[in-house]
Amino acid sequence: MIGKFKSLAILASVALLSTFVNAQQCGSQNPNGECSNSCCSQYGYCGTTSDYCGTGCQSSYGQCDSPSGGGSSLPVSSNGQCGSAQGTQCPSGQCCSQYNYCGTTSDYCGTGCQSGFGTCTSGGNIPGNPGNPVTATVYNKCTASNSFSLTFDDGPVSITNDLLDTLANKNQKATFFVNGNSNGCIYDHADVIQRIVNEGHQLAHHTWSHPSLPELSDDVIISQITLLETALRKIVGRVPKYFRPPYGAYDDRVLGILGNLGYQYIITWDIDSGDTGGLSADQSEQVYRDAIANSPSPNPHTALNHDTKPDTVYTVAPFAIDYVTQSGYSLQTVGECLGNGNDWYKETVSPSARDSTWTCT
């Protein structure tokens, strides 16, 4: 009897597989394939049953059931992830992308959007590539003559507030490449992120937890990006278009993914203060002196610092601000010193009120 049930199960599986194999192909897996009067399944085939029109249905390539067919009874995502694998739907007004992350831009609401787990862009044109890809270009220093950019990585932490006080007292602006959950949870320092934006500094992306991106799979890289995007969207309603890879590590694959996600400006540095490499405050100050002596104004520079280091916050940063300006430089944000003014963000929305989803766990 057991053998008979196994045989029936195998026959049923073969029949279902045959249905998919014989169906028209479609979707993000087959960009030229759009279903006519039918649904495009999460696996890239056209059909009209719940296998095609329900969970994971790609609304950009055909019809789909209403969101109630996939997820309105599901719990709302608290970590920016969604879809059948997570068993969650996106918060109201957000889309569940083909990669199972919540968002509101065309990267999430266009190609491959899963209508069963959030809203989706209705009908209209199908983009030739996922989302709104750009060319990710690497800049290791400012380009504007006589410009100098002070950048600070790996925050926010509590002492970032003291650095912001120093910048305010000296009437200067900086660029902050922030993490989501590397030196503490970003939601626990939401006030710091809000200060950065409200006081006119540039907020930029430095991944969720500071991994070396070339060592990760595509899906994990995308997760590192979208988790921080979700947090910044909640806290300040800003999603940056400037990105710094942890450790300055990237390859062509990483750049391709970043470009597809809308990150046009990949920022490294030409001056490293050495504050995470064991240099003392005096030694870091000498790094600035030597760099400017070897390449003085009007040659532009971008300097790497970390607002997680007390020596940097209380000693090196105040010194650098004074020394750089006394050497004839104009201190600017990265966006300004690359000639882009304050065009720093690929998305600007209303921030959300703090709720139970403001957590890194």
- What HEC string does 228-274 produce? HHHHHHHHHCEEECEECCHHHCCCHHHHHHHHHCCCCEEECCCEECC
Domains of the chain: 31-131 (no CATH), 137-348 (3.20.20.370)
Element (H, E) at 305: strand 301-306
15, pLDDT greater than 60 = no
Q: Torsions phi, psi of 203, nearest 5?
A: -100, 130
Among 65-74, 197-206, 214-223, 253-262, the range of highest mean pLDDT: 197-206
Number of C-alpha atoms within 13 angstroms, CB side, residue 328? 10
Task: Specify the pTM.
Answer: 0.69
**pLDDT class for 315, splitting at 50, 70, 90?**
very high
What mean pLDDT do residues 36-41 have? 74
Strand, helix or coil for residue 322? helix
Active-site positions read 153, 306
User: Are β-strands 39-40 and 46-47 bridged in parallel, bridged antiparallel, or unpaired?
Assistant: antiparallel
